[in-house]
Amino acid sequence: MRLITISLTLLMTATFAGAVKADGAADDVIGPRLRFIKSNGIRLRIAEMGKGPLVLLLHGWPESWYSWRHQMPALAKAGFRVVAPDLRGYGESDAPKAVEAYDISKLTGDAVGILDALGEETAVVVGHDWGALVAWHCVLLHPKRFRAMIAMSVPYGGRSQESLVTTLKREFGDNFFYILYFQEPGVAEAEFDKDPRAILSRLYLSPNSPRDKPEVTNPKRSAGGWIPRLGAPKKLPDWLTAKDLDYYVQQFTEAGFRGGINYYRNMHRNWKITPQLAGVQIQQPVLFIAGKQDVVIRGATKQQLTTQMSRVIKDLRGVKLIPDTGHWVQQERPKETNKAMVEFLKALD
């Protein structure tokens, strides 16, 4: 059964990922090569393209290596070796059972293990969403292995005085918030595993995407889970084809959602096990990219984000906010994202 799944994955990869140009438009080019490596004691599936200095692309939740389908050809063409793994718990990569197997030390250890498996001493690490959280900690916990980074969507302002989970519990109480929902053992994955297409199609949208009215509007957690609180899309956004969505759905149908949700279940643990990061400045060059309408940055301006991050980043080389763009920035605006990435990478010493 596993061999059939892998064959189907490779077929879908050739169909979808193999037909993107450097600027994100369709074209008949050879897509990324998918293979398996051992990293940090587990097996990871990686997609790779190109030759040159290594750029490691880390996806977020609920995503896949495939979220970088537009970036990989552009960076390979620009002269870089590009590797995008399915992070642990995703796609064809191993998914350990223990919740603690997804803490930040394991996740950054996986990134270091990828470099070791590839025979690379250093890399530029790029992360979006949860991948950005991992990338921030890669440069903090393993500064000799990561010479620069690009963060997308999730900024960094230094170690907080309390964990985010503690803050959210105080703020939301009995009301629903997805991160608190994810703390409940086994609950969120049970909801999403029953209908991967329902949750993915509701999340992979732009800020202005038309939706049906949500079925649940009661703010109390007891009123229901997350899918009925998100209005179903009236149509897919222009940047996401039906085949793109089918690929994501197939990946989560096979792997399930538990692994990715376990990242959230380690948020408090991550804070507890990293007290040494209090007051630590990031020394490596950093570029930050986000959609201007990304809910994660909560309407923050370029100046506000620059001020926030400059306190803890010694060499912040830019904050790029792309107008009329939401959370899925590298998929929504591949041309603008690729241009910013290539300019940053080529300017590195």
Active-site residues, by number, are 129, 327
Report how far residue 240's alpha carbon sits from residue 202's, in angstroms, rounded to the nearest whole number: 12
Report how far residue 333's alpha carbon sits from residue 22's, in angstroms, rounded to the nearest whole number: 12
Report how far residue 151's alpha carbon sits from residue 135's, in angstroms, rounded to the nearest whole number: 7
**Angle of CA points 326, 332, 334, to nearest 5°:** 130
The b-or-e profile of 162-179 (16+ CB within 10 A means b, else e) is eeebeebeeeeeeebbee
Report how far residue 199's alpha carbon sits from residue 260's, in angstroms, rounded to the nearest whole number: 14
Which amino acid belongs to residue 195?
Answer: D
**Token pair listed for 231:** 């209005």
Report how far residue 10's alpha carbon sits from residue 16's, in angstroms, rounded to the nearest whole number: 10
Report how far residue 61's alpha carbon sits from residue 165's, in angstroms, rounded to the nearest whole number: 17
**In this structure, are strands 42-49 and 81-85 parallel, antiparallel, or unpaired?**
antiparallel
**Beta-sheet strand order (sheet of 282-291):** 33-39, 42-49, 81-85, 54-58, 123-128, 146-152, 282-291, 313-322
**Token pair listed for 205:** 């949208």
